[in-house]
């Protein structure tokens, strides 16, 4: 059985999905700047274990629709896409697995719609209810105006830089944030000095790491052709403050579903202020956490850099979810 591709419409937006298998639904939610393809190593093991696996290109990404308004990319829109997709697939619930930006979407969906989420796994980004990412004012206080999330706020700038050569952009970002980058002994926040751009901090790698081939880069880059190809993904960052406003009413709620967290010890996320506290206190926001896994030597691209270890953790977690569901 091969991975099938088709389009579905949710909330007036066309999403491209990759799907395979039959059984309980597992939704795989990618991050920035990726696509369904970042889950290529997870399909076969999960399908063989008896699950229906679906990975969308999320709103604004790759082969899915790219709504023009910036405010069409709030966390409420993204959670709405997930909940509508579950229904369009003919299911009443799912286990959500998110990486990078997909993790806040997964955590927030579990927070806001616990009736639809049997279990939730976050790779790289831990839960920080309710908006999952701190306001930009806090980020500016901590890291200054050069912090990449602040830089991404200016319309058209990073968009044009990234779109000039999508394959080079993807190679640089993916290699730079990986555990194989020899230029960074310890992960540190992405802070861009005045007069430079983010890609200036990320030289082209001489050799790609074993987990990222030329064919992989080409598969990712295929979805990022055209001058506005990165605008949708960047618009997710441009809603960080709006998300904090919209989700204020949910402050104090916790993730009720069984939960899993997996992160690499060389992931740039672990260098961000407050993440060590979130990791140590995961049980306070996700009381039913099943496992809190740290992968030695792994960078940001968790499921791509360490597919066997991530797959083992996911299969163990999925078995746990099914066990507690039956119980």
Q: What is the pTM of this model?
A: 0.98
Q: Could you count the other beta carbons within 10 Å of the beta carbon of residue 265?
A: 14
Give the pLDDT confidence of 248-289 residue by residue, as tens digits.
999 999 999 999 999 999 999 999 999 999 999 999 999 999
Give the pLDDT confidence of 13-67 residue by residue, as tens digits.
999 999 999 999 999 999 999 999 999 999 999 999 999 999 999 999 999 999 9
Q: Write down the domain spans for the chain.
A: 4-326
Share of the chain above pLDDT 90, in %: 97
Give the pLDDT confidence of 119-169 residue by residue, as tens digits.
999 999 999 999 999 999 999 999 999 999 999 999 999 999 999 999 999
CATH fold of the domain at 4-326:
Rossmann fold (3.40.50)
**In whole angstroms, what is the distance from residue 136 CA to residue 277 CA?**
19
Catalytic site includes residue 99: no
Q: Which residues touch 37 (CB under 8 Å, ≥6 apart)?
A: 30, 216, 219, 220
Bond prior to 130 in cis (omega within 30° of 0):
yes
pLDDT value of residue 182: 86
pLDDT value of residue 326: 73
The single-letter DSSP state of residue 290 is E
Catalytic site includes residue 300: yes
pLDDT band at 325 (very low <50, low <70, confident <90, very high): confident
Task: Tell me the two tokens of residue 308.
Answer: 């066997």
pLDDT value of residue 208: 96
Residues composing the chain: 327
- Choose the catalytic residue: 57, 100, 159, 216: 100
CB 36 within 8 A of CB 57: yes
CA atoms lying within 13 Å on the CB side of residue 130 = 18
**In whole angstroms, what is the distance from residue 168 CA to residue 162 CA?**
8
Mean pLDDT of the residues in the chain: 96
**In whole angstroms, what is the distance from residue 95 CA to residue 121 CA?**
8
Q: Tell whether the model's pLDDT for residue 210 goes beyond 90.
A: yes
């Amino acid at each position: 059985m091969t991975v099938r591709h088709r389009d579905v419409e949710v909330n007036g937006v066309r999403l491209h999905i990759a799907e395979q298998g039959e059984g309980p639904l597992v939704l795989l939610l990618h991050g920035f700047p990726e696509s369904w393809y970042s889950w290529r190593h997870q399909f076969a093991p999960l399908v063989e274990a008896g699950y229906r696996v679906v990975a969308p290109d999320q709103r604004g990404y790759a082969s899915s629709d790219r709504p023009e308004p910036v405010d069409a990319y709030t966390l409420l829109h993204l959670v709405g896409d997930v909940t509508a997709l579950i229904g369009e697939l003919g299911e009443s619930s799912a286990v959500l697995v998110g990486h990078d930006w997909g993790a806040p979407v997964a955590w927030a969906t579990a927070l806001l719609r616990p009736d639809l989420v049997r279990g939730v796994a976050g790779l790289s980004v831990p839960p920080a209810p309710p908006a999952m990412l701190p306001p930009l004012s806090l980020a500016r206080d901590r890291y200054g105006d050069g912090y990449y999330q602040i830089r991404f706020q200016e319309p058209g700038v990073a968009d044009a830089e990234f779109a000039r050569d999508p394959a080079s952009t993807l190679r640089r970002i993916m290699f730079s944030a990986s555990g194989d980058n020899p230029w960074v002994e310890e992960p540190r926040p992405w802070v861009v000095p005045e007069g430079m751009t983010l890609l200036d901090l990320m030289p082209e790698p001489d050799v790609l790491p074993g987990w990222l081939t030329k064919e992989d880069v080409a598969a990712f880059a295929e979805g990022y052709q055209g001058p506005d190809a990165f605008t949708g993904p960047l618009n997710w960052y441009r809603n960080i403050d709006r998300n904090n406003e919209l989700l204020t009413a949910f402050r104090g709620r916790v993730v009720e579903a069984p939960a899993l967290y997996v992160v690499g010890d060389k992931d740039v996320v672990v260098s961000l202020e407050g993440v060590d506290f979130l990791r140590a206190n995961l049980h306070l926001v996700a009381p039913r956490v099943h496992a809190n896994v740290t992968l030695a030597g792994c960078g940001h691209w968790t499921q791509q850099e360490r597919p066997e270890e991530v797959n083992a953790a996911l299969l163990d977690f999925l078995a746990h979810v099914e066990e507690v569901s039956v119980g």
